[in-house]
Structures are given as C-alpha cells and as structure tokens.
C-alpha cells in the first residue's frame, strides 16, 4: 500500500495532506449515507414483519430500491418557507443538525487501522460533537415560527441535555476500565475473546448507554420531539423536501454512530468473539478474524435492538422521561462508577480491566 501511495504523495507535495484527508472523509461518508438509506429500508421491513406485514416490496427486487425512490421523491419536492420564519436560521438548522452527526465519525475507528483521525481524547470528542446536534433541533423549532415546532424543540432540548449526563457517566465507567480515552486502546483492552468484553463488568452501563442513545437520537419510545399524536411532527413539521431529508439523514447517522460506539465500547469493537478464528486462514487471509465484519455484525445487532424497541413500546410520557433520566439513570450510573472504583482496589481488580 505504502509503495503505491508514495509517488503520488511526492508528486502532490504540500497539497497531499488536505487531499488525502478529503479522500478518507469521502471514503467514510459515502458508505455511511448508503448505510442510512438501507437502515430506513431495514427499519420498515423489520417493523413490517413484526406487525405481520411485508413492508415495502414494490420498488426493485424485494423492495431493495425503495430508499432511492424515497430520496428522489424528497429531492423533487418543493421546500416551503413558512410565513414569518427566520429565513437564515430556517436553512442553517438542518445543516447544524447534520454537521455534528458527520463530524463525530472522524475519530471512530472501524478497524485497527481504518480511521480518519486517531485522536487521543476520541471519546470526549464524540461526546462533544453529539452534544452539538441539539442546536439543529432547537433552531429548526424556533425559526419555523410554529407553535408545534417550538414545543417539539423545547421538549427535545430538555431531553437531550438530561440524557447526555447519564450517557457521559456510562462512558466514564468504560474509560475507568480501559484507562484511556482513545478508541483503539479501549478496544485493545477488550482483547482475548467475548469473555473479556466490557459488557460483562459493565452490564448496567451498557443498558443505560443504549437506552440513553435511543433518547439522544429522539427515537421511539423517546420521540417526544416528534410525537405525531400530540404535536404533529414536532420540530420538523414545517420542513419539506431536501431540508426534511437532511434532518432524517442526521437522525439515522446518529443512530448508526450510537450502535457502532456501543459495539466498540462494550462489545469488543472489531475483535472476533473467538480469538481462535484469527488462525483459521483461507489463502493467507482470515475471513472470520478481527475486522470490519465483526464490527458490522455487532452494530447491526444494536441497530436491530433500536428497531425492536420501536416496534414494541408505546411512547413515554414526558414527566416519566425526565424521571427515568434524572432519578433512575444518573443515580444508577454514579453508584456503578463508585462500585467499579472500589472493586479496582480489591483483589478482584483484574475482572474490571
């Protein structure tokens, strides 16, 4: 690989670094957008079968081209700006929603070497970026000049700020075990098969993380920001066409991000659950060894949980959302952090590393 790249690098000189980074970003974002497209199809199919229906099956074989049909429909729709809306903020809001959702991916490693930027404080960076996504929602709600949109924005802002705390504490537990904020080192700490994954000592934290992740992305049953039976469609009620599609894209990108992070932090990331599989080689290449395959499988499983939860539970009531976040999750995570800290001083410490 290096031998191939070196002549190009020498030829481009100082322009090499920006161009190479740009190429890496494109190589990450394009599959990500395709992933979002097929996640929407998977969602409709999975929920369809759970409800004893077939789901989309008209466009292309088995409905596989349905996401493209949806995209073209949205692209050709007119974008309507409501009367009295704040024009600039109305159009900036979707950009502010998708910007952080994409930016967070910069530090997420997909395998040991496949990462755009290997940052020391990667975990903190992801937390900071995901906490910015709320601006898109608040501004969309405010700039639309609509009561429903504003109500949705307020609900969502309060909810995201509340659940971020529980999520942050769950991550603190992980970094206590891993002794690092760097994703590669966190995964390296879970080496040695499924028994060494952090999900076992941190099982309550895993549950808190996934539930808080559902709440952060405004997914059912925490979709108070949309709540179509109460406030029509919440913060994006006034958005149509591509502007709406951008919000949609941001939500699904954050979902995939949460799923990949949950797999990286608790389920061993790209590591194979059975280290022996690394030895099983076909033509000098271990297809079931550590790699993208396992990360994909784990992330898909977490995403399936997201869809499963959506098909199963009715929407939470607003006061109960707040109660769960502040009175259940935060005390639980704090208690578990103290528990882990105490156990690390005893002879059971190796269990938590």
Residues that bind another protein (CB under 8 A): 89, 119-121, 124-125, 127-129, 131-132, 134-135, 138-139, 142, 150, 154, 157-158, 160-161, 164, 181, 319-320, 323
Min separation Cβ 217 and another protein, Å: 15
Distance CA 72, CA 95 (A): 20
Q: How many CB atoms lie within 10 A of CB 83?
A: 7
Cis peptide bond prior to 146, omega within 30° of 0: no
Q: Which residues contact 210 (CB under 8 A, 6 or more apart)?
A: 258, 262, 302, 305
Q: How far is the CB of 104 from another protein (least distance, A)?
A: 12
Nearer to another protein, 266 or 316 (CB): 316
Q: CB of 120: closest distance to another protein in angstroms? A: 5
Retrieve residue 247's tokens: 């919000």
Q: Report the residue number, 164 or 238, with the smaller CB distance to another protein.
A: 164
**Cβ-based nearer residue to another protein, 304 or 334:** 334
Q: How far is the CB of 343 from another protein (least distance, A)?
A: 18
Least distance between another protein and beta carbon 150 (Å): 8
Distances (CA, A) of 158 to 5, 115, 153, 223: 48, 33, 9, 12
Q: What is the H or E stretch that residue 194 is in?
A: none
* Choice between 57 and 131, CB closer to another protein: 131
Closer to another protein at the Cβ: 97 or 295? 97
Q: For residues 261 and 99, what is the distance between their CA atoms, to the nearest angstrom? A: 18
Q: Give residue for tokens 């690092």.
A: 180
């Amino acid at each position: 690989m290096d031998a191939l790249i070196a002549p190009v690098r020498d030829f481009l000189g100082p322009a090499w670094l920006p161009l190479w980074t740009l190429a890496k970003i494109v190589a990450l974002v394009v599959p990500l957008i395709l992933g979002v497209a097929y996640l929407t199809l998977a969602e409709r199919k999975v929920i369809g079968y759970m409800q004893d229906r077939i789901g989309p099956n008209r466009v292309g074989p088995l409905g596989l081209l349905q996401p493209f049909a949806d995209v073209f429909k949205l692209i050709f729709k007119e974008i309507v700006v409501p009367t009295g809306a704040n024009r600039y903020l109305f159009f900036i809001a979707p950009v502010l929603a998708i910007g952080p959702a994409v930016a967070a991916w910069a530090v997420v490693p997909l395998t040991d070497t496949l990462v755009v930027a290997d940052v020391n404080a990667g975990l903190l960076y992801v937390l900071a970026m995901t906490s910015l996504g709320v601006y898109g929602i608040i501004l969309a709600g405010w700039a639309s000049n609509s009561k429903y949109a504003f109500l949705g924005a307020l609900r969502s802002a309060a909810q995201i700020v509340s659940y971020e705390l529980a999520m942050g504490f769950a991550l603190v537990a992980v970094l206590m075990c891993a002794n690092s904020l760097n994703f590669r080192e966190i995964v390296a700490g879970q080496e040695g098969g499924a028994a060494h994954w952090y999900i076992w000592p941190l099982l309550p934290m895993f549950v808190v993380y996934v539930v808080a992740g559902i709440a952060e992305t405004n997914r059912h049953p925490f979709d108070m920001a949309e709540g179509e039976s109460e406030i029509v469609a919440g913060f994006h009620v006034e958005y149509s066409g591509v502007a709406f599609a951008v919000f949609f894209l941001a939500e699904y990108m954050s979902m995939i991000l949460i799923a990949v992070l949950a797999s990286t932090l608790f389920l061993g990331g790209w590591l194979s659950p059975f280290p022996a599989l690394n030895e099983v080689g076909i033509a000098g290449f271990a297809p079931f060894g550590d790699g993208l395959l396992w990360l994909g499988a784990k992330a898909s499983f977490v995403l399936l949980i997201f869809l499963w939860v959506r098909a199963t539970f009715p929407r939470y009531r607003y006061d109960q959302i707040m109660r769960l976040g502040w009175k259940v999750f935060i005390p639980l995570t704090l208690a578990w952090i103290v528990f882990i800290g105490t156990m690390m001083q005893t002879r059971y410490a190796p269990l938590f590393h």
